[in-house]
Amino acid sequence: MDIITIFQALLRWGVFALIGGLLLVLAIFVGYMIYKKAFHGQMSMSKTQGVVLFLLSCWLLLVLALTTLSRGANFTGSFNIDFFSAYINAWNKWSISELQLIIFNMLMFAPLGFLLPLFWKRAEKFKVTFFVSIGLTICIEIVQLLMGTGIFELDDLFHNCIGSLFGYFCIMTMRSIIREKRVRLVPIGKVLIFPCVIGMIIGAVSFVYEQQPYGNMPILPASKQNMSKIQVNTSLSLSHQPAAASIYKNKYTEDQDYIEQIIAQLSGSEDVTFSGIQRREGENRVYTGKSPTSENVQLNFFFRTGHWRYTTWRDAAALTKEAAKSYEDFYKNWLKESGLLPDSAVFSIQNNDTLRWDTPEENDLSISKTAFTSGSIVMQFDSNLELTSMHYGISWNEYAATEEIISPKAAFKQVEDGNFEQYVPFQQGDTLWVKECKLAYVYDTKGFYQPVYRFTGYINNEDNSWDCQIPALAK
């Protein structure tokens, strides 16, 4: 979830929180008046407390909406008790979106720490706000768990408490200045310590990342799989000997000029006006636009591979032979002049409605030391013979270096240790059958095409296929 998506969610659920907060405060006010009039209650509430109660109610409803209502019930009631796994995940993916989500989870609870001492005198004590923050976070995590809209994570407890304490120190510093009519450095230091520490950590980690010759591997897990409850079987005879393999670099990785070039070319050929970035999806960019025939045009740019996808969301229609030939010539020239069509690309027509160019696969990338292209281009047209979708999936890879890689046996040891990504956890008593091991390639976070060992097999029976990838570069 990136900052644009976060703000969109805040705006979408903000009205719900505002109306819900008004209704909740109204119900509390009615109950309070009954308590005072009918039961002659002695407890009182000031106007300031009433306003703060309204703000707290809106905040709580907004948090509940963001953590439960805005998500589908896609989780299976699992726990993540690996501390700092969110940071490991952000590091492996080197993802701004993941970092923004961590910071947002902190700031999301800052209003609680800020408002609670204004509403409740006892909350001016550090430990009261601290334990209220922990208790409320646990309640929200349990609600997510029961509704299947999230995972119970220790990291969330940590982030929410950090945010709440930041808000607490902010309000207590302001109160200290108002009450004492002077500025003291200690309270201000407590406020500044949070952004300063976070800033220094981000700076240090960024420096380490930039010093690395290659990027991080998004295929690595934030936490290892629990292999103690399963059995791993294989009949593979794996070599103990390390080897060497070539590494490549994608020509268009993180190339903003390339994005602008594609936008300009699509704007010219398809008469589209793009309005800019709508949001990020991970490290990918989503641009929106309009054309004379479509109010909803979208361009997805995959920042680390140079791939992109253009769509108008209109249905595809069959092409006549004449139209297919005409469009083949037009877009072949368009792609050639733009430097986007490899000489080795082979043209074909699929299902009478799809134009396609494919580049042949390299036989053995590990020993090659030459630049190569791979992938395909797929285009479809609507009933008005206008381009409705285009997927550009050609990767332009240049030789970068030859590096030592670990042996297949060492890679299999990583499998036995559970150091791989798996969406659905293993169950007690599962048997993992590993049937094949091949050297493959995946992109890292700097756009280098790195070798990995790909293990395939199945869990319990052949209908339940399984595979994983283990980075092959020697450390």
For the stretch 9-50, pLDDT in tens is 788 888 889 999 899 888 888 888 888 788 777 777 888 998
pLDDT 10s digits, 264-295: 988 988 888 888 666 666 668 888 888 887 77
Q: In this predicted model, which residue has the larger pLDDT, 11 or 310? A: 310
Asked if residue 81 has pLDDT above 90, the reply is: no
Mean pLDDT for all residues in the chain = 90
Q: In this predicted model, which residue has the larger pLDDT, 417 or 5? A: 417
pLDDT of residue 77: 56
Asked if residue 4 has pLDDT above 70, the reply is: no
Strand partners, 466: 457
Task: State mean pLDDT over 336-343.
Answer: 92
Cα–Cα dist 270/258, whole Å: 18
Q: How far is CA 310 from CA 173, 305, 325, 384, in A?
A: 51, 16, 21, 17
pLDDT 10s digits, 211-240: 999 999 999 999 899 999 899 999 999 999
Cα–Cα dist 15/367, whole Å: 59
Asked if residue 173 has pLDDT above 80, the reply is: yes
**C-beta of residue 397 within 8 angstroms of C-beta of residue 372:** yes
Task: State mean pLDDT over 92-100.
Answer: 87
Cα–Cα dist 3/7, whole Å: 6
Asked if residue 395 has pLDDT above 80, the reply is: yes
pLDDT 10s digits, 101-123: 899 999 999 999 999 999 999 99
Cα–Cα dist 345/373, whole Å: 9
pLDDT of residue 187: 87
What's the whole-model pTM score?
Answer: 0.87
Task: State mean pLDDT over 316-323.
Answer: 92
> What percent of the chain has pLDDT above 70?
96
Number of other residues whose CB lies within 10 A of the CB of residue 431: 13
Strand partners, 465: 458
Cα–Cα dist 458/421, whole Å: 15
Asked if residue 53 has pLDDT above 80, the reply is: yes
In the structure encoding, which two tokens stand for residue 239, read together? 């070599």
